[in-house]
Structure formats: C-alpha cells, structure tokens
C-alpha cells in the first residue's frame, strides 16, 4: 500500500476518521507506522493530537488524598507534577475537594 494508490489511502483515512488510531491501523494492516501515517496524510486528513497516557495512581495515593493530603503534597511525595497527580486522581474516579482550605 503506497500513497500512489488512492484506494488504500482513502480506506486508511476513513478508518482513522472513524476513530482508529495510527497504531491500531499498523497492527491491522501490517504496514509500518510511517506508511500508515503517510497514506492518511496523503488522503488529506489532519491528524489528531496524540493522547497523553495517564498512569494509574500509585498504591495508597487515593487513600492519602481522602485522609486529607493535598494534591501538591501527593505530587511531591510520589515525584509527579501537580497536573499529572490531579489527572491520575480524576481518572481513578476521585471527587476532588474545592481548591484551598478555608
């Protein structure tokens, strides 16, 4: 499959626009990542920004948050950024407290 053949490029583009990832199309077609990417781009598709994978919360982080630790304290303790710690807690389904203590 090359960019010289518009039919495969169009089918890859259609699959990508329907939600498939470039990595998923690589696995499905057996083509290289660059071949898939080149075909999708040749079909005139604008690529989506990459999704940032959020790691799971380290053991005990959720309990520590529920026991009163702040996101900043957890970030420092687990060697993460504030934003990354907040995203991990949200991904784990934690209801965050309002900002600041008053």
Query: pLDDT tens for residues 22-51?
Result: 999 999 999 999 999 999 999 999 999 877
Backbone angles phi, psi at 3, to 5 degrees: -70, -10
Between these two residues, 5 and 66, which has the higher pLDDT value? 66
Candidates 92, 98, 99; CA nearest to 58 is 92
Residue 69 lies in a domain: yes
96/87 Cα distance (integer angstroms): 11
Kindly state whether residues 63 and 89 are assigned to the same domain. Answer: yes
pLDDT band at 80 (very low <50, low <70, confident <90, very high): very high
Kindly state whether residues 36 and 71 are assigned to the same domain. Answer: no
Domain of residue 11 covers 6-42
Residue 67 lies in a domain: yes
Residue 102 lies in a domain: no
Q: pTM, whole model, 2 decimals?
A: 0.52
Residue 76 lies in a domain: yes
Contact 78, 60 (CB under 8 A): no
Residue 47 lies in a domain: no
Kindly state whether residues 62 and 88 are assigned to the same domain. Answer: yes
Residue 78 lies in a domain: yes
Domain total in the chain: 2
Residue 35 lies in a domain: yes
């Amino acid at each position: 499959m090359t960019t010289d053949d518009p039919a495969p490029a169009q089918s890859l583009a259609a699959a990508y626009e329907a939600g498939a990832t470039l990595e998923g199309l690589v696995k499905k077609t057996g083509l290289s990542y660059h071949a898939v990417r080149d075909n999708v781009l040749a079909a005139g598709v604008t690529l989506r920004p990459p999704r940032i994978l959020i790691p799971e919360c380290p053991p005990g982080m959720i309990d520590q948050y529920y026991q009163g630790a702040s996101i900043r304290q957890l970030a420092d303790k687990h060697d993460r950024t504030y934003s990354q710690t907040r995203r991990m807690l949200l991904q784990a389904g934690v209801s965050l407290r309002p900002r600041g203590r008053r």
